Amino acid sequence: AQSVTQPDARVTVSEGASLQLRCKYSSSGTPYLFWYVQYPRQGLQLLLKYYSGDPVVQGVNGFEAEFSKSNSSFHLRKASVHWSDSAVYFCVLSAGAGNTGKLIFGLGTTLQVQP
Amino acid sequence: EAAVTQSPRNKVTVTGGNVTLSCRQTNSHNYMYWYRQDTGHGLRLIHYSYGAGNLQIGDVPDGYKATRTTQEDFFLLLELASPSQTSLYFCASRPQGAETLYFGSGTRLTVL
């Protein structure tokens, strides 16, 4: 069965500190992986995506993620967080073969950036 | 930038009430989706559609109907609302050949 696990429900960091949000996945085939962000009172927005190739993918606002097949992981990183990065972050796995677009969402990690 | 608009933003109804949530996307995307978001469950797929007149069952369809009247419009219907359907509902669209979803801002539904 395909699944996504975000082991940390909540992460608190200080502004300017580095960040890593963890994501583990289980997939029977080639995984398509995404990170989405949800700011307060808004819908989800795509941060970055991984299909194949270079395991480190760059996203918006200085975020990057590293895919590891051996560890079944797709961790999100940022070198220096800003207070505006406070949001809920979802790791997402594409489950559909062909283009059904059915996605499996992790439960999300709430990031709080303290001044 | 893809635009997905949901209405209403907030809705309160009573148990047994009839509710329709609306979603419109203006980018001619083929695929549209209805999700519900609940604490402890993340986002769960209710129904989705490949195009006008097409409907597909998602993972948590019980108690919900959906209708895709046009390429742009996708509606979620709760004909006998129950308190368990109190949730934050998101609509999303996706163009064919791409994996990225574009989300609306959500509708918060409260069933008393």
CB contact under 8 A, A99 and B97: yes
Could you tell me if A92 and A106 are in contact, meaning their C-beta atoms sit under 8 angstroms apart? yes
**Mean of the per-residue pLDDT values for chain B?**
93
* B10 at A interface, C-beta within 8 A: no
In chain B, the residue whose alpha carbon lies closest to the alpha carbon of A5 is: B42
* A45 at B interface, C-beta within 8 A: yes
All structural domains of chain B, each given as residue ranges with its CATH number in brackets, are 4-111 (2.60.40.10)
Looking at the 3D structure of chain A, how many domains does it have?
Answer: 1
Distances (CA, A) of A59 to A100, B46, B56: 24, 29, 31
User: Which of A23, A103, A104, A107 to mutate to test binding with chain B, by most B CBs within 10 Å of its CB?
Assistant: A103
pLDDT digits (tens, 9 = 90+) for A18-48: 999 999 999 887 889 999 999 988 889 999 9
Q: Note down the domain range covering A8.
A: 3-114
Q: Which CATH number does the domain housing residue A104 bear?
A: 2.60.40.10
CA B57/CA B62 separation, integer angstroms: 10
CB contact under 8 A, B100 and A34: yes
Chain A residues 70-109 with CB within 8 Å of chain B: 90, 94, 99, 101-103, 105-108
Q: Which residues of chain A have pLDDT under 50?
A: none
> Which pairing describes strands A19-21 and A10-14: parallel, antiparallel, or unpaired?
unpaired
Could you tell me if B24 and B5 are in contact, meaning their C-beta atoms sit under 8 angstroms apart? yes
pLDDT digits (tens, 9 = 90+) for B44-94: 999 999 999 999 999 999 999 999 999 999 999 999 999 999 999 999 999
Distance of CA A4 to the CA centre of its chain: 10
Size of interface A-B (CB pairs under 8 A): 53
Residue A86: the pLDDT is 96
